[in-house]
Amino acid sequence: MSEHIHRRQRAAGLWDEVPVLAYKQDGAAPFRDVTRQVLFEHAALGCQLRYFEVAPGGHSTLERHEHVHAVMVLKGRGRALVGGQVFAVELHDLVEVPALAWHQFRADTDEPLGFLCMVNAVRDRPQLPDAESMGELCADPAVAAFIRT
């Protein structure tokens, strides 16, 4: 996908010549009702811009990694966990996920949550929480109530 000059948005969160992909390989990590689209991945950029859409009531994987995410909400609303913080996110909010911060995005029950996410093209694999990490995360009741695994 390196020679696209103009691709039209044909509906909210759907673009010409951008396939709607599975968020992750089935069984690779826990998540619910999330799609993934790669909008830009030109080799010269060194990064990818993806669009994820979490259906109402769905959630992304609880994970962490060395690479950073730069996120902008493009549709709907929901809540996010980044590090030890749980907060509401709305249209056009910006969220930065630092290196090795545990993170998860959840759509509200009556709205999808669509967001742009910029990442390095070359990046490490996400880590899932082990029992020890879950213990640390769940020490905060707000985090314990939020996370889905």
Pair of tokens at residue 75? 């549709």
Query: What dihedral angle (degrees, nearest 10) is formed by the CA atoms of 79, 66, 121, 40?
Result: 10
Instruction: Catalytic residue, from 117, 129, 137, 143: name it.
Output: 117
Q: Are strands 113-120 and 69-76 parallel, antiparallel or unpaired?
A: antiparallel
Active site residue 117: yes
Paired residues of 11 in beta bridges: 14
User: Distance between CA 69 and CA 95 in Å, rounded?
Assistant: 8
State how far the alpha carbon of 48 is from the alpha carbons of 30, 38, 80, 120, 145, in Å: 23, 7, 21, 6, 32
Give the residue numbers annotated as catalytic, written as ranges.
117
